[in-house]
Amino acid sequence: MMPYDYDLLVIGAGSGGTRAARVAAQHGARVAVAEEYRVGGTCVIRGCVPKKLLVYGAHFAEDLKDAKRFGWDVPDACHFDWPRLRDNVLAEVDRLNGAYTDTLTNNGVEIILQRAEVTGPNTVRLADGQEKTAERILLAVGAHPAIPDCPGNEHGITSNEAFHLDAIPRRILIAGAGYIANEFAGIFHQFGAHVIVMNRTQEILRGYELALRDRLLQISMMKGLEFRFDATFEGIAKGEDGCLTVRMSNHEPVVVDCVMFATGRVPNTRGLGLDSAGVELDGKGAVGVDADNRSTCPSIFAVGDVTNRIQLTPVAIREGQAFADTFYGGKPTRVDYSCVPSAVFSHPPIAQVGMTESEARQKLGEVKIYSSDFRPMKNVLAGRNERALYKMVCDATDRVVGIHMIGPDAPEILQGAAVAVKAGLTKAQFDETVALHPTMAEELVLLR
Ligand code: NDP
């Protein structure tokens, strides 16, 4: 008789959990995955994927304006139909939800569409009361948006709701100045909303290269976005007309139609029963794990945002793959967290890999900086006064330790360059590579 119902029970069918479940099953394990909402998780259902589709939709606003300079007759006032885009995006999400579900079932993974909570080192209880046992339990439950604690916060929305809005608000205040805030600021602005970004400090996109952050701020303000820095919520009041009056420290109140919170994400560990198995959490509620994704309970593991290491989909996927290969594939694997590239799909987008200039100065002492500050030729003909900025950080031996870019298609261009940075190539090796002309990417091999 099998001692457990499953070899592996995964809680959460997002990017990390789905990868771990599928690969473990392919390695021959008996696997189930419990999911309380929809297979696909944050990235597919209410994150990266639908967000990127909105970013594409938003870009048409500028492209349609620029089209005239490229000879196309476009009406001055193009109509944008939000419900049409929203419904098309949600239909694509449904399609992907089906594809993820099929992948799991085709690989023999049992999908349990219920919430599961841990009741011991090898047991979970499902929402319908059933108990299930597994030799190992993998927590891949992700994170949820943090809501600032202030009177009236129930009037705000998060990125979860942004994909389902009935209409684009005329005026929106976005709280936070990280990834989500800057991406949605661009999206809402291009769809015609007046956008105010409010942050508790004076910085946007903390952790990104300073010169790029300054450039994004400058371009955003030029486009008409407003910023309120050093501001914390004092209260949000809803008037009879449905408008929201937001009071904040250090600034006059503002009246908007929508408030969106984008102030970080909190690991989904509350109420998960982790105490019952001795799984320890860090100060932010994240599951503490070792390099093999093992928690303080030897039979319980965790991958993805719930561990609060690097909250990025491709990292969660690697962690899930490493876990499955290590414990079910006979191939011990650990994720290498160095040189993880990242991007912000703002307008224009930012992409980076490796160390910023200030990080490199702190860690390496002597550094060499190369940059290119240029107006992409498409922007020149379009009459768009928006400059791109590429910056390369090298160590004393000229090895490239960081690349930072803001400009059209920066994330698409950076992925290839990230391979070179990860491989430890030098500035001279970049320069030996013949430019691909005329492109924006060629600036990477022409930096001075
Ligand atoms: P971020 O961590 O990027 O930004 C959070 C912002 O909210 C910061 O500006 C921060 O201010 C502010 N903030 C944090 N805590 C509070 C608080 N208690 N009260 C008020 N303001 C606060 O979080 P996001 O919510 O934008 O995104 C969550 C995560 O999702 C990201 O870390 C990222 O890993 C991932 N993500 C990745 C994307 C991508 O890869 N393109 C896209 C979207 C999300 P300050 O920094 O000034 O202290």
Tell me the pLDDT of the chain averaged across its residues: 98
* Tens of pLDDT, residues 56-108: 999 999 999 999 999 999 998 899 999 999 999 999 999 999 999 999 999 99
Question: Average pLDDT, stretch 287-309?
Answer: 98
Helices (H), 260-392: 313-328, 357-364, 377-382
195: closest CA among 221, 230, 164? 221
Asked if residue 263 has its Cβ within 6 Å of ligand 1, the reply is yes
Cα 344 to ligand 1 centroid, rounded to whole Å: 11
- Strand partners for 235: 247
Residue with tokens 């609060």: 308
Ligand 1 within 6 A of CB of 46: no
Q: Is ligand 1 within 6 A of the CB of residue 248? A: no
- Give 371-427 pLDDT, tens digit per residue: 999 999 999 999 999 999 999 999 999 999 999 999 999 999 999 999 999 999 999
Distance 261 CA to ligand 1 centre (A): 10
Q: What CATH number labels 153-263?
A: 3.50.50.60
Per-residue pLDDT, 1: 57
Q: What is the mean pLDDT of residues 178-190?
A: 98
Determine the pLDDT at residue 259: 98
Report the nearest-CA residue for atom 48 of ligand 1.
201
pLDDT at 2 over 80: no
- Is 303 a residue whose pLDDT tops 70? yes
Phi, psi angle pair for 15, to nearest 5°: -60, -50
- Write down the pTM of the prediction: 0.97
Query: pLDDT tens digits for 98-145?
Result: 999 999 999 999 999 999 999 999 999 999 999 999 999 999 999 999
In three state form, how does the secondary structure of 54-82 look? HHHHHHHHHHHHHHHHHCCCCCCCCCCCH
> pLDDT for 221-256, tens place per residue?
999 999 999 999 999 999 999 999 999 999 999 999
Q: What is the predicted pLDDT for the residue at 235?
A: 98
344 has a pLDDT exceeding 70: yes
Question: Domain spanning 6-144+266-328: which superfamily?
Answer: FAD/NAD(P)-binding domain (3.50.50.60)
- Domain boundaries along the sequence of the chain: 6-144+266-328, 153-263, 348-445
User: What's the whole-number mean pLDDT along residues 6-15?
Assistant: 98
Dist. CA 281 → ligand 1 center (Å): 20
6-144+266-328 and 153-263 share one CATH topology?
Answer: yes
The closest of 63, 32, 270, 57 to 162, measured between CA atoms, is 57
CB 25 within 8 A of CB 107: yes
Residue 437 known to be catalytic: yes
Mean pLDDT, to the nearest integer, of 281-301? 98
410 within ligand 1 shell (Cβ under 6 A) = no
User: What would the CATH number be for the domain defined by 348-445?
Assistant: 3.30.390.30
